[in-house]
Structure 1
């Protein structure tokens, strides 16, 4: 049984008596999609999937964040797909937050439970099925892989967060730690999807301002998160979407850990567009 907690949306529709005021916001630098917005009427459906619906958390937008998309998939018993990915350039990470899914990669089936993590390289042959008696939910993070001459495409793999030791940040006594699923020095990878954990009271002690785009889904706990010029309260089930160079920092609340699933683009030169030919 998993030792960690993983929040998953429950769907449904708010009652007519609920106040409209919420924490949802979209700015030029960031977006906050709180858990209360994950209703039935905002789900999407995809070709060649059965018994499945998707909350789309982010997608490439010109002038905002352009490198990735992120879904939460909700698959009912018996649901799944034999053709889940239609874009041969897309790599992906799957991260299970509730239930059990069977993912078959190049003919080998992996049973993934809560905390399960799969990396799927571009052009990978994979299928997915919920063979259990309960619904399953997982994050599906997709990115167009950036090929580099002289570097091989990384291989597919499956693991679980509970089998990977977190790495403590220097000088924090492990109160701020990151669970990394790939070697940071492996230049074949052009994105990292990790789990970041803050113990109550731990902080990001400066306003991080960097080129990486981010998707942050809060798996557990609560915090006050600095986004650009604003301090925003977030809790389990909320999603934050940051464009490049958006300042960010964090104060973790209690009583338990504050944890989130983090996407960032890494290990590639900056692309140019509109340059003059020589």
Structure 2
């Protein structure tokens, strides 16, 4: 069975060296698995027995289009009213455990690899009725309506039910598991799984308008971020600003896999979403 990385939690011993890979720049950030400890978790209103690592949030000089959490839900924990913000859409991806999701009163037992899309206005709950903990990744975005385009529908699936699509000319060494048709204009974000076999590469410096959140689920690689080559491994999180050059070489001995967020299918805003300040 596929295993996915989860935050380390706990606290390192006092003998641990401070030198690490945590990096924050104007173009990208790397939050290594080793700094995702219990001391930096948050608790959220309306959530019981749940610890949250906030990996990205809209912030000047950081993420602009989305927020991303890593959740640890202890036995009996969860929320009956998880989303406080009107207009927010979500993707949940289960990395460990067997939580239960309800959407409009319908129960959806989840397992590792479970994936759920929740449109704005969906009524949903998330609980962990098991005797062991559950870990999930939660991506949140304010939905951008488009003229004549209806809202997308909620759905629940598992990555095991979707065959990865190989990128052209790669012999399957670089493949993407898509949960939404790229041509479906109802969706203004894609949250996909990307898999590189050992030795697989992104063979050019991608430079594009889409912002990225990348949570490494398995394996290791050397990632090009702006002007730097950075080693990354399972459990790391990367944020990439729009137009940040990017590429990677996957190391071995296992596949390098990550959950990828990007904003898509909408015009670039020409006006600020915030009202002008009056003097």
Equivalent in the alignment of 1:120: 118
Which of residues 144, 150, 153 is equivalent to 1:152?
Answer: 150
Please give the alpha-carbon distance, in whole angstroms, between the structure 1 residues aligned to 2:272 and 2:66: 22
Equivalent in the alignment of 2:240: 242
Please give the alpha-carbon distance, in whole angstroms, between the structure 2 residues aligned to 1:101 and 1:90: 21
The alignment partner of 1:132 has SS state of coil
TM-score (norm 1): 0.97
Give deviations 1:152-202, integer Å, cap 9, x for gaps.
Answer: 000000000111110000000111000000000000000000000000001
Equivalent in the alignment of 1:181: 179
Please give the alpha-carbon distance, in whole angstroms, between the structure 1 residues aligned to 2:211 and 2:272: 22
Give deviations 1:242-263, integer Å, cap 9, x for gaps.
Answer: 1000000000000010000000
Please give the alpha-carbon distance, in whole angstroms, between the structure 2 residues aligned to 1:200 and 1:33: 23
Equivalent in the alignment of 1:44: 42
The alignment partner of 1:41 has SS state of helix
The alignment partner of 2:171 has SS state of coil
Asked if structure 2 preserves the Cα contact closer than 8 Å seen for 1:227 and 1:246, the reply is yes
Q: CA deviation at 1:117?
A: 0.1
Please give the alpha-carbon distance, in whole angstroms, between the structure 1 residues aligned to 2:38 and 2:186: 38
Residues 174 and 89 of structure 1: CA distance in aligned 2, closer, same or farther (over 3 Å): same
Aligned pair 1:24/2:26, yes or no? no
Please give the alpha-carbon distance, in whole angstroms, between the structure 2 residues aligned to 1:145 and 1:257: 33
Please give the alpha-carbon distance, in whole angstroms, between the structure 2 residues aligned to 1:99 and 1:205: 36
Please give the alpha-carbon distance, in whole angstroms, between the structure 1 residues aligned to 2:202 and 2:42: 35
Asked if structure 1 preserves the Cα contact closer than 8 Å seen for 2:8 and 2:34, the reply is no
Residues 274 and 201 of structure 1: CA distance in aligned 2, closer, same or farther (over 3 Å): closer
Q: CA deviation at 1:88?
A: 1.8
Q: CA deviation at 1:4?
A: 2.0
Q: What is the correspondence of 1:207-246 to structure 2 with a 5 Å cutoff?
A: 207-246=205-244
Please give the alpha-carbon distance, in whole angstroms, between the structure 2 residues aligned to 1:65 and 1:143: 11
Please give the alpha-carbon distance, in whole angstroms, between the structure 1 residues aligned to 2:213 and 2:10: 24
Equivalent in the alignment of 1:101: 99
Q: CA deviation at 1:61?
A: 1.5
Segment drifting more, 61-70 vs 38-47: 61-70
Equivalent in the alignment of 1:133: 131
Asked if structure 2 preserves the Cα contact closer than 8 Å seen for 1:65 and 1:244, the reply is no
Please give the alpha-carbon distance, in whole angstroms, between the structure 2 residues aligned to 1:112 and 1:7: 17
Equivalent in the alignment of 2:73: 75
Q: What is the correspondence of 1:51-66 to structure 2 with a 5 Å cutoff?
A: 51-66=49-64
Give deviations 1:205-252, integer Å, cap 9, x for gaps.
Answer: 000000000000100000000000000000000111010000000000
Equivalent in the alignment of 2:276: none
Q: CA deviation at 1:53?
A: 1.0
Which of residues 267, 270, 273 is equivalent to 1:272?
Answer: 270
- Show structure 2 runs of 5+ residues with no match: 274-279
Please give the alpha-carbon distance, in whole angstroms, between the structure 1 residues aligned to 2:126 and 2:192: 22
TM-score (norm 2): 0.96
Q: CA deviation at 1:274?
A: 5.7
